Structure 1
Amino acid sequence: MSIWPPKKDMLKRPAYRSLAQCIVAAIEAGEIRPGARLPTHRALAYQLGLSVQTVSRAYEDLSRLGVISGEVGRGSFVKAGRPDGRVPWHRLAGGEEVIDCSLMVPVTGAIHSERMSAALVDLSTDLPEPAILSFRPRATLEGHCELARGWLSTCGVDVDRNCILPTNGNTAAMTIALMTAALPGDLIVSEATGHHTLKSLANALGMRLSGLAIDAEGIIPEAFESACRSETVKVLFVLPSGLSPTAAMMSTERRQALADIARRHRVWIVENDAWGPIQPDRPPPFAAIAPERTFYFTGLTKCLLPGLRIAWLVSPEMMVSAARTRHLVTNWMATPLIAEIASRWLENGTAEELLSWQREQLERRNRIAAQMLGGLRYNATAYGLHVWLPLPEPWREDAFVTHARNDGVAVAAGSNFAISESYEPAIRICLGAGTEQDLEQGLAVIARLVRSTPEPALLAI
């Protein structure tokens, strides 16, 4: 049965989103080929009995998603190939009244604007020249690395400052770690439900990626051992401290077991600890258990302030030079001005103040989640930034996400985090955005939907 062009009765409300989904489905089915020119807004509106504005909005959404491109005077064309990876969050248009639980951000408040304003005022009267004039990474950031040692120690990592590489956020640190630990064609293994950008990053770097079976603590050691015996594994990528989509907190025993396997098979470990010390009283990191083979990174973006894009990559001593070289050829250096602000906050106690504030906010929000989702099966940690909620039958992820959005709440589908083909349908609910009242309202909508039994017609989306 042909799905393109669609019939008007195939479109659900809201019509613009349903039309966009029909176009994507037609592209994936091969009924619309890459490079094909789509009908004009007016022609398709007339054909389907829709308003021109509805078609325009559908095309705009597809353009933002990278599915089509518009050329003035020529029309709209399907891009060659699919976009490189799906994103778990929704691209919210200005003016949309949606409670956004899809994007993982820390809680923010007036305190952040006040502290940043004060830092900028201080910089205006006491600006070190290297922060704006230097092209020498190591000389410029040497003092910053010494201060970063103190922050890393709160994460359980005791390391010489020469092993610390400042980067422009966790994504840059993650990229450099993989580029240093593996080569194109090498195999990386990670959680079956893992980091949402890892799949695209591995593909861009020409590396292979395989998902390993997980349980409530994360990667199952037997699955890692089996993978290592089947073929050469170069990197184990882990999110062991509640950061994984499933919010798994790995025990010390599990970390030790995985580290022992990595040693036996000479596998490098890349440890993503982007939230840093938000989670108190957690087990020691892999960087403390197996420092000779662990690339560890953490930063301030997720635990203090989204705009403070600074992170630190800690490399095994024998790989420090290689990591610095790869950082030089891809980023040159972390932005000195941001590093200067971070240094001052690490030194004067502002970082610790904002960390304590963040913990308090997240503890309250997790209590709200526990109350609103009571009786439902979900995974979370006491200070985590998100909740992982498996979906009961007969709900499908895409239908649930769409219905939640129609009810004013944006959540992320679990399929965005799938590294292996086998995974349990679920949604990720982020707790950081908006007010506590917004969060409570959004969780009430989610809980109502999960507890409901949808009509078959509601699942046909």
Structure 2
Amino acid sequence: MTIQQRARARCHWMPKPDRSRGPLYKTLVDQLAADIASGVLKPGDRLPPQRLLADALEVTVGTITRTYREAERRGLVDARVGSGTRVRGQHSSIPGFHHLSRATDDNIDLSLSTPIVSVQRSQQLADLMQQLAARPDALATSLEYQPEQGNAAMREQLATWLGSQGLPMGPGELLLTEGGQHADYLTLQTLVRPGEAVASDALTYPGMIAAARQLGLKHLPVPMDTEGMRPDALERLCQQQRIRLLYLMPEHNNPTGACMTRERREAIVEIARRHDLLLLEDGVQYVPADFRGQPFYRLAPERSLYIFSVSKILAGGLRFGALRAPANLMPKLSAALRAQCWATPGLPGLVACEWLASGLADGIIDWHWQEVRGRQSLLRERLAGYDIQSHPCSFHAWLHLPEPWRAVDFVRRAAERGVILIGSDPFCVGSQPAPQAVRICLTPPPDRAALDRALQQLGELLAQAPPVQAMPI
């Protein structure tokens, strides 16, 4: 049997390219796209190793490498060191990344970082809507076209409330947005040109990964330690690459929960000034003032942007947030927002700002953090002895799986037991190897009893050995 015959026998995907239709790598990518669309290849399917497919088609490895790179650029596949090149899911640019609950009567969803369900929250919203209905002038103003930067009264209310939480900023520094993800995307679209580089923690928020990819930006990972992004690694990266913007989650990284010390933040600011980086701080994973360090916009106001959203403290469905930006960047950001949607809707902003200004939201927020801390304690109790990273106020925890568990197997086996998790792949920047870890979100279950049942299932699963995998031939 020839090398080609042996290779063909081992390839589970064998394209039949038309070599007369332009560059071969483009023909191969077109066939890959067609096979994905027709269902021949399904999301998660692994493509043949490059050398194997090259031997099967009797082409150079360079041709297959170029094919796979073009397929990744088109959003057809994801490449990850250690797990190969796999077909990407049809409804998400990041494998395993979703924002809607998968909970059913038969399972418990621990995959989403969402606020805990509260009857008090629903009742407060109902009461607030009745009060606003009695204020026709306020409602009428909210239904009109809004200024690009956002309604001045709403920005004043929001700035006052943020100041009371230890985040002082003036209303003129704020641009109202449709939530935190909108602020992420708007910032990248406005301040980073296609082909330029952004950098972040090597493990970071999947929404940022998706936004950078959608905009055609080069997204570079910065190695981490227990405090998050390492300044020495960032310095080396800046010496090798021209980076325009640095995305940061200093209070507690999503997914690992790593929190930066004051010294770590100051070291990053020094590097940012030396290499002229913009700093985008994601403050959506809100924590109380007593647990919060100095935000980057206080350490380097001339180059720092800060994202706020009510998604984690009131309700994700309101789609209301704000972006704090330096004065010299505000005209560009406002113009970009105007080009996107004229302005953010007035009614959600009115509801959110009145809710915060009334003082009623503070009670819900205080209850929520107490409940989160209780759930963190329950997690530590049920999974005692395992390697867990988390912040005391975090909605989630990062579980490093014991050998020989692999994340993909653990997520699958947990789902068989009725517990929905997310593995490490969606959080990985670039093609670096994904750690054998999973994120456990503590807030989706309606009560601690449901969370307890889910954690007990995970504890029992961790105590077992994973199934033996058949060795590839």
Residue 16 of structure 1 corresponds to none
* Structure 1 residues 32 and 309: alpha-carbon distance in aligned structure 2, compared to 1, 3 A threshold: closer
2:21 aligned partner: none
Equivalent runs, 1:182-331 vs 2, <5 Å = 182-278=192-288, 280-331=290-341
1:425 to 433, 436, 445: 436
Who is 2:36 aligned against?
Answer: 34
| Cα distance in structure 2, aligned partners of 1:219 and 1:109 | 35
Give the aligned partner of residue 449 of structure 1.
461
Is the partner of 1:317 in helix, strand or coil?
A: coil
List aligned pairs for 1:38-437, cutoff 5 A. 83-89=92-98, 95-127=104-136, 128-137=138-147, 141-154=151-164, 156-278=166-288, 280-420=290-430, 421-434=432-445, 435-437=447-449
Name the Cα RMSD after superposition.
2.9
Q: Decide whether the 8 Å contact of 1:241 with 1:279 is kept in 2.
A: no
Structure 2: distance between partners of 1:387 and 1:130 = 44
Paired residues of 2:143 and 2:346 also in contact (CA < 8 A): no
Please give the alpha-carbon distance, in whole angstroms, between the structure 2 residues aligned to 1:374 and 1:296: 36
CA contact (8 A) 1:297 1:312 kept: yes
Give SS of 1:264's match: helix
> For the Cα contact (< 8 Å) 1:310–1:339, is it kept in 2?
yes
Distance 1:171 1:213 in 2: 24
The CA deviation at 1:355 is 1.2
Q: CA deviation at 1:207?
A: 1.1
* Alpha-carbon distance in structure 2 between the residues aligned to 1:242 and 1:223: 19
User: Mind listing any 5+ residue stretches in structure 2 that lack a counterpart?
Assistant: 1-9, 15-28, 42-74, 77-86
Shift of 1:81: 8.1
For each residue in 1:373-410, what CA deviation from the matched residue of structure 2 results, as whole angstroms up to 9, or x when unmatched? 11111101111100000112211111110100000100
CA distance in 2, matches of 1:392, 1:94: 26
Contact 2:404 2:465 in 1 (8 A): yes
In structure 2, what residue type is equivalent to 1:99?
I
Letter in 2 for 1:321: P
**Alpha-carbon distance in structure 1 between the residues aligned to 2:183 and 2:460:** 40
Structure 2: how far apart are the matches of 1:369 and 1:154?
A: 31
Aligned to 1:54: none
Q: Do the aligned partners of 1:279 and 1:383 also contact (CA within 8 Å) in 2?
A: no
Query: What is the CA distance between 1:423 and its match in structure 2?
Result: 3.7
Per the TM alignment, residue 436 of structure 1 is displaced from its structure 2 partner at its CA by 0.7
Task: Give the counterpart letter for 1:102 in structure 2.
Answer: S
Identity %: 26
Give the C-alpha shift of residue 428 in structure 1: 0.2
Q: CA deviation at 1:326?
A: 1.1
Alignment partner of 1:197: what SS?
helix
> How many residues align structurally?
403
Deviation of the 1:30 alpha carbon = 5.7
Residue 154 of structure 1: how far off its partner (Å): 4.5
Q: Name the amino acid aligned to 1:455.
A: P
Distance 1:183 1:437 in 2: 49
CA distance in 2, matches of 1:110, 1:81: 36
C-alpha contact (below 8 Å) 2:110/2:444 kept by paired residues: yes
Q: Is the CA contact 2:200–2:222 (under 8 Å) kept in the aligned structure 1? A: yes
Letter in 2 for 1:449: L
Give CA-to-partner distance per residue, 1:113-143, whole Å, 9 cap, x none.
1011101111222232444431132596100
Q: In the aligned structure 2, how far is the partner of 1:353 from the partner of 1:265?
A: 43
Q: Deviations over 1:118-172 (max 9, x none)?
A: 0111122223244443113259610010111123224543222111011111011
Match of 1:72 in 2: none
2:450 matched to which residue of 1?
Answer: 438
Counterpart CA distance in 1 for 2:89 and 2:114 is 32
Following the alignment from structure 2 to structure 1, what is the Cα–Cα distance between the partners of residues 470 and 377?
31
Which residue identity lines up with residue 437 of structure 1 in the other structure?
A
CA distance 1:267–1:288, change in 2 (3 Å):
same
CA distance in 2, matches of 1:310, 1:169: 4
Q: Distance in 2 between matches of 1:403 and 1:81?
A: 23
What TM-score comes out, normalization by structure 1 length?
0.81
Describe the superposition over 1:395-452 as per-residue Cα deviations: whole angstroms up to 9, x where unpaired: 1111110100000100111111001413421000001112111111111111222232
Deviations 1:271-314 (CA, angstroms, capped at 9, x unpaired)? 11102344633211111111110111011111222223211100
- For residues 459 and 236 of structure 1, do their structure 2 counterparts lie closer, same or farther at Cα, with a shift above 3 Å needed? farther
Match of 1:44 in 2: none
- String of CA shifts for 1:11-35, please: whole Å, max 9, x gaps: xxxxxxxxxxxxxxxx9x9698234
Q: In structure 2, what is the Cα distance between the partners aligned to 1:451 and 1:193?
A: 27
Structure 1 residue 4: Cα displacement: 7.7
Which has the higher mean CA deviation after the structures are superposed, 133-142 or 253-262?
Answer: 133-142
Report the counterpart of residue 23 of structure 1 in structure 2: none
Q: Which residue of 1 aligns with 2:3?
A: none
Check whether the contact 1:275–1:300 (CA below 8 A) recurs between aligned residues: no
Q: Cα distance 1:359–1:81, how it changes in 2: closer, same or farther (>3 A)?
A: closer
Residue 405 of structure 2 aligns to which amino acid in structure 1? W
In structure 2, the CA distance between the partners of 1:302 and 1:177, relative to structure 1 (3 Å rule), is same
- The two structures have a TM-score, normalised by structure 2, of 0.79
Closer, same or farther: CA 447–90 of 1 in aligned 2, 3 Å: farther
Task: Give the aligned residue type for 1:294.
Answer: S
CA contact (8 A) 2:246 2:278 kept: yes
Measured in 1, the distance between the counterparts of 2:103 and 2:443 equals 19
Cα drift, residue 184 of structure 1: 1.1
